[in-house]
Homo-oligomer: A and B are copies of this chain.
């Protein structure tokens, strides 16, 4: 069955969202039209406004509609620690885990010369100027544990080594709460190589 063109277009448009297939898109379109027109109108307006107004923080490149983001404005963060992440979503995950109280820098991707994503695209100039300010003592290179993330971390550390800051990388190992049986071989061998002394008192 074909619905009317506009209803079909609506179902189709929802598929731009991550994890939304044809069935879910249908359900979303029906739900908005049948039960949530005010909420749908609000959603449309906010998407529109956010796409127009949200850009990058001029200091850390996270998503914000202001010039400088809330986190960079905050005086309660540790200026000597900088955590470099690939995406605002990674930044969010680290914040939600808690424990890190430094500043962030968002690359918006990783180096990928074949796709034309070079040092400029990941904001290396801006990162360098932050480090050049002289307050940062340690840079945690929290790019993804993938080949591209590794390569990006290595590149950044090499490029900015002359500023005398120390670079670190998140620990590799088995994830908490998992079962060894289901951990992949690469992770398991990294965890073996990085094994820690165990105090049995």
Contacts and interface: CB of A to CB of B under 8 A. Distances in A.
Contact of A26 (B30, B36, B89): B89
Nearest to A96: B1
B65 A4 contact: yes
A88 B48 contact: no
Contact of A18 (B5, B31, B49, B50): B31
Contacts of A16: 32, 36, 39-40, 42-43
Interface residues of A, number: 58
Interface string A53-72: 11000000011111001110
Interface of A: 1-7, 9-10, 13-14, 16-19, 24, 26-34, 36-37, 39-51, 53-54, 62-66, 69-71, 87-89, 91-92, 95-96, 108
